[in-house]
Each structure stands twice: as structure tokens, then as C-alpha cells.
Amino acid sequence: MASVTLQGNAMNTNGDLPAVGSAAPDFSLVNGDLQDVRLADFSGRKRLLNIVPSLDTPTCAISTRKFNEYADEHSNTVVLIVSADLPFAQGRFCTGESLSNVVPLSMMRSRAFARDYGVLLTDGPLAGITARAVVVIDGDGTVLYTQLVPEIADEPDYEAALAALS
């Protein structure tokens, strides 16, 4: 279990992020066409998981825009945006922001992803959705980098995450 804060108020996650060097847990999330998508669907490419509580918050929107810019110039990397938002809301956000280089994925059918990645908030006002985190995975499925952002309202460390992709 890890602790994060929301505007200084402590909350706990159900566990810890996968260890660097370990195999990334596979998952099944829902895309904009309501199809199940797995981590393995992107094998052979580097994967950056931008895990956010909801795209309907300023910090989540900023991080998604920044990672979209990176993905535009790096075709060997797929940026997966994981949130509890419904695929319809994710699609509206990405269309409205002209974000075509990220893949939004929803936890609408299950919280297994959040539990397996150790980011499920177990208490506080956001219990049941994810803490903010970044996980970088290589083409073979090995975890290269993780960051659990200590304050949910803060942005992740973009430089460190993008350096892990190099």
C-alpha cells in the first residue's frame, strides 16, 4: 500500500506499482469502440501508461496533451491514457482537444487494472478510481519506469518518463 494526497489530505492505494524490471501485468480495458483491449495488443512497441483519475480535471488534461505531443514524434511508442471515465467521455475529450496520438482506455467494466497496478484508491473522496501514475513498458513487456505522483493535483515528472522511453 502506498499513500498519496489530494490537496494535502492523505489517501491510500491498494498496493504498489509494478517493480522496475518486472513483467508488466496484462490487463483488459475498454476502448472508444467498446472493445476490450489488452496490453499485449501493443507488444513490440514501447508503451507509456498515463494513469489518471479522470480526464475531466485540469491536471489530467495537461498530462494527456503533453504525452500526445511526444507520441506525435515517436511512432515506436504508444501512449495509453487509463481512467475511470466512460469511453464516450474520453472520446469527446480527445476530439475536443484534437488529441489523435493517444489511446484512451476505460476501466468501466472492471477495476482489475487499478488493483493489479497498485493504483486503486481505497479511501478518501476518490476511493474507487486511480491515483495519478506513469508506467513505461518496453516492447517485450518489461517495466522500465514508474512514478506514483505523490500529490494527485500535481503533474507527473515528464522528463523522467520520457527519458525512460529513450
Residue 94 annotated as catalytic: no
Q: State residue 65's pLDDT score.
A: 87
Q: State residue 48's pLDDT score.
A: 96
User: What grid cell was written down for 112?
Assistant: 482489475
Q: Which helix (H) or strand (E) holds 158?
A: helix 158-165
Q: State residue 166's pLDDT score.
A: 86
Say how many CA atoms lie within 13 Å of 97 toward its Cβ.
24
Measured in degrees and rounded to the nearest 5, phi and psi for residue 62 equal -60, -50
Measured in degrees and rounded to the nearest 5, phi and psi for residue 50 equal -100, 100
Q: State residue 70's pLDDT score.
A: 85
Residues 6+ apart with CB under 8 A from 92: none
Q: Within the chain, which residues score under 50 in pLDDT?
A: none
Domain limits at 160? Answer: 3-165
Q: State residue 133's pLDDT score.
A: 98
Q: CATH code at 25?
A: 3.40.30.10
**Which of the residues 60, 81, 84, 131 is marked catalytic?**
60
Please, what's the largest Cα pairwise distance for the chain?
40
Q: State residue 56's pLDDT score.
A: 87
Question: What's the number of domains the chain is made of?
Answer: 1
Q: State residue 12's pLDDT score.
A: 98
Taking the CA atoms of residue 132, residue 138, residue 143 and residue 144 in that order, the dihedral angle to the nearest 10 degrees is: -80
